[in-house]
Amino acid sequence: MGSNSDHLVVGRFAPSPTGALHTGSLVAAVGSYLMAKQAEGRWLLRLDDLDTQRQLPGMDDDIMRVLESFGLLWDGEVACQSRNRGEYLSTFETLQRDGMTYPCRCSRKEIARSASAPHPGDDGVPYPGSCRGGGKRDSPIRSWRVRVSEEEVCFSDLRKGRFCQKLPLVSGDFIVRRSDGEFAYQLAVVVDDYAAGVNQVVRGEDLLASTPRQIYLQRLLGFPQPEYCHLPLVTGIDGTKLSKRDHLISHGVGNLAGREQTLLLASLRFLGLNPPPDLAGYSCSDILQWGVTHFDLLRLPAHGGELVV
C-alpha cells in the first residue's frame, strides 16, 4: 500500500460508472484538475465501481472518453475500486483486530424505530448503538460497524473553512462492511486515497458531511489526512441537486459533440474565473491551461447554482 506524499500534490477525480457524467461532474473534475495542476502535481482518475448492481455497461469507457474530449487527461493508469478488495479486507481486519468494529444485526426498520434523533440526516437517522454490547445474537449479521467516539471531528476545508461534526449525533457507529461481504464507501475511499498517495481531495459540497467519517477512519488507521476542498454544487433551475438524469454530458446519448469548449468555459466561470471571450476559439487543452494559470481559490463562489452556458 502506498502513502500520501508530503511534497508532490496528488489530486483525483473519482466518478461512479452508474450513470453518465453531468455538468456537476464536469465542474468537480475541472476544479480538481485545476488545483492539482496549478500546484504542478498529479491528477488521477479512479472509477468507484464497487456498486456492481447499479453499474451501466460501457459507462466506464464513456466517462473516460468524455474526460478526454475536454482535455482532462489523467496521470498514470486508471484505478478501479473493484481491483482493490484485498486492501479493503486487510484494512477491515486491522480495525477488527483493534476492537474497533462489531457485528450489527439491526434492520433498517428497527434502527428507524429506536433512533432518538428527531431529524434524520442525509444518510438517515444516526445508528443508536443497539448492537454495541452484543445485541440479539439469534439474528443474522446485517453489517459490521465501526465504533465512533464522542470527540468532535474537525478539519479546515479550503473553501468552507472550519467544519466540525460529532459523529454520534450525525451517523452513529457507521457501516464499514455489509453482510454480503462488500465494503462500504466510507472505508473504500479512505483506503483508495491512501493507496494512491492522494493528498488533495477536491469534490462537490454534497460530500462535505461525510468527510468527518473518513477523517475518523484515517485517524484510527494512522493514515495521513488529505487536504480537502468542497466545491459549490451545480443545481437545476429549482435549486435542487442534479440527478444522474439531469444535464448529461455523454458520447453515449449523443449530446456532447461540439459543445466541449462552451461547457468548459461555463465551468471556469462557475468556479469564479473570468475567461476572455476570444478563448472560445481555442482548444480545450488551451482553455484548461488558461484555467490552471488563473485559478484562484479565493474566488470560488460561496454558493452553487445553475451552470450558465
The pLDDT assigned to 33 comes to 98
pLDDT over 90 at 1, yes or no = no
**pLDDT the model gives residue 92:** 98
* Cross-strand pairs, 155: 163
**100 pLDDT more than 50:** yes
Q: What is the mean pLDDT of residues 252-278?
A: 88
User: CA 230, CA 31: separation in Å to the nearest integer?
Assistant: 10
How many beta carbons lie within 10 A of that of residue 158, not counting itself? 17
| Identical fold, 10-84+190-299 and 86-185 | yes
Q: Which of 20, 23, 112 is nearest to 60 (CA)?
A: 20
Query: For residue 274, what are the contacts with CB-CB under 8 A and spacing of at least 6?
Result: none
| 117: confidence class by pLDDT, cuts 50, 70, 90 | very low
| Side-chain-facing half-sphere of 61: CA atoms under 13 Å | 4
What are the residues facing 148 on neighbouring strands?
A: none
What is the mean pLDDT of the segment spanning 245-256? 70
In CATH terms, the fold of domain 10-84+190-299 is Rossmann fold (3.40.50)
86-185 CATH fold: Rossmann fold (3.40.50)
For all residues of the chain together, what is the average pLDDT? 91
Average pLDDT over residues 13-30: 94
DSSP class of residue 305 equals B
Give the pLDDT mean for 292-301: 97
Report the amino acid identity of residue 136: K
pLDDT at 51: 82
Return the number of other C-beta atoms located less than 10 Å from residue 50's C-beta.
21
- State mean pLDDT over 95-110: 93
Residue 233: is its pLDDT beyond 50? Answer: yes
**Which sequence spans correspond to the domains of the chain?**
10-84+190-299, 86-185
Q: What is the pLDDT of residues 170-189, one digit of tens each?
A: 999 999 999 999 999 999 99
**pLDDT of 116:** 53
How many angstroms separate the Cα of 198 from the Cα of each of 7, 48, 214, 256? 11, 15, 14, 30
Residue 7: pLDDT above 90?
no
User: For residue 119, what pLDDT band results from cuts at 50, 70 and 90?
Assistant: very low
Q: How many angstroms separate the most distant Cα atoms in the chain?
A: 70
CA 273/CA 22 separation, integer angstroms: 20
Using alpha carbons only, give the angle 263, 264, 266 rounded to the nearest 5 degrees. 65
